[in-house]
Amino acid sequence: MALDALGVAPLYQGPDINRMKLTAEPSKKPASLLKPLVPSKSKLTTIEAKRVMSVLDETIHKVELVTLLSYMASNYETLEGVLGQDIMKAVSEHEDLCRSLLDTVIYLQDKERRLQEEEEYKEEGWFRDRILSIELQKSSLPPLMQQIKESTKDTLRLLLNNPQAVRLLQTYTPSRSAEAQNFIDCLIELRGFLFEKLLTGPVEARDKSQFIQDINRRNRRNQGIIDTLENELAASVKNRDAEKKYRVETEIENWIQKYDMEMGEKQEEYEKLDIIHKEEKVQLEELQQKHDVLVEEFSQIRAKREVNAKKRLEAEQEMLRMVRAATLIQALWRGYLVRSMLKSRKKKRSKSKGRIKEKGKAKAKGKGKAKK
């Protein structure tokens, strides 16, 4: 479907461009080198050339105005008092036609996309009916496009009949879109080529063609020299790369051998250390078992010592209690013996005193009897 190729909406939003002058600008390159390419004249002299340039200038000017129509439509209220009701009415009608065409195109594109997604049902009757409906709607596009062309012509005619409105419009113009500006730049570039072509006479054209042929021959010859030098450079680079590659491979091989040798020595050392480690591990396990046995025996001995110490302490305490008890008993016994001895001595004294008293009484009685 060729709907994507339709450029319906006017392009706008770009700064107004300066019209190109009708004189050739001097080249920045040395005049002696580009003299055959520079036209001898700087102004158009023939009526036909001036008419051609006038037509192209008018075309560029109209394109500049066409790219402002959408801006005018989107700023209707602002520009109505400046450009007048007739111009703004024509712009509004043109915008409605463009919008209608764009809506139709978008609608048809959406329907075609849906049909492509349902292509497996293309043998169905409803699928063919939809295709027929799309084709019928497509048939309405050419008349609508023709209306847009006529509307564009009418709007341009109104604008061109009002130069003051055009100048005022250009003062209100914001920056154009990149697409519109690129299109105008291409037209201006084409104008420059055409202007230079019109300035060049037959003799100058022949000289220019001869000059270009000479340049092409020089270019081919120089290109051959460049190709030869590039081939030599490529060969030198290839040889150099092959020599850098050989050196690198040799160095890598030496490093690999050195690595293998060192790794072999390390492996032997590791195996020896691993054997020693295993032997020491076995010895450690044996020592650990002996240590466990000794720890257990020491625990038992310490437990026995603790029991014996406890028994000895208890025996000592018991002996101390017995000694204290014996001492106490001895003290009590000695006290008893002392008290017994004291009691016996008192008895003996009392008895001796009684005997003495009896003896005294007896003596007294004897003396009394004697006196008598």
pLDDT of residue 230: 92
Is the pLDDT at 13 greater than 60, yes or no? Answer: no
Give CA–CA dist 121/144, Å, rounded: 32
**Cα 91 from Cα 97, distance rounded (Å):** 10
Average pLDDT over residues 4-13: 37
Residue 364 has pLDDT above 70, yes or no: no
72 in Cβ contact with 90 (< 8 Å): no
Domain count, the chain: 1
The residue range of the domain holding 77 is 2-200
pTM above 0.95, yes or no: no
**Reported confidence tier of residue 354, pLDDT bands at 50, 70, 90:** low
What SS3 state is found at 16?
coil
Which pLDDT score is estimated for 37?
54
> In the predicted model, is pLDDT for residue 301 greater than 50?
yes
Q: What CA–CA distances, in Å, run from 283 to 13, 152, 270, 293?
A: 93, 107, 19, 15
Rounded CA gap, 183 and 177, in Å? 10
Instruction: Write the pLDDT tens digit of every residue in 108-159.
Output: 888 888 877 777 666 677 777 777 888 888 888 888 899 989 988 998 888 8
- C-alpha–C-alpha distance, residues 105 and 147, integer Å: 15
The rounded percent of the chain whose pLDDT value lies above 70 is: 80
Is residue 111 domain-resident? yes
DSSP per-residue string spanning 65-95: HHTTHHHHHHTHHHHHHHH-HHHHHHHHHHH
Residue with the larger pLDDT of the pair 201 and 99: 99
List C-alpha distances in Å: 293 to 105, 298, 306, 307: 100, 8, 19, 21
Residue 79 CB burial class (10 angstroms; 0-12, 13-18, ≥19): buried
What is the pLDDT, as a whole number, of residue 366?
58
> What does the radius of gyration of the chain's CA atoms come to, in whole angstroms?
68
Tokens (6 digits) for 161: 């009949």
- Residue 116 domain flag: yes
pLDDT tens readout for residues 154-180: 988 888 888 887 887 777 666 567 888
The alpha carbon dihedral of 192, 198, 204, 209 has a sign of positive
Let me know if residue 218 belongs to a domain.
Answer: no
345 in a structural domain: no
What's the CA gap between 27 and 35, in Å, rounded?
10
174 neighbors 72 (Cβ within 8 angstroms): no
114 falls within a domain? yes
Residue count of the chain: 372
Residue 25 DSSP one-character state: P
pLDDT at res. 9:
40
> CA 196 to CA 192: how far, in whole Å?
6
Residue 128 within any structural domain of the chain: yes
Supply 343's token pair. Answer: 């009691």
The span from the CA of 168 to the CA of 87, in Å, is 13
Look over the chain and give the mean of its residue pLDDT values, rounded to a whole number.
78
User: Does some domain include residue 313?
Assistant: no
Task: Using CA atoms of 18, 19, 22, 23 in order, give the dihedral in degrees to the nearest 10.
Answer: 20
Stated as kind and residue range, the H or E segment containing 256 is helix 202-371
Which pLDDT belongs to residue 23? 36
Residue with tokens 């008293």: 357
In a domain, 243, yes or no: no
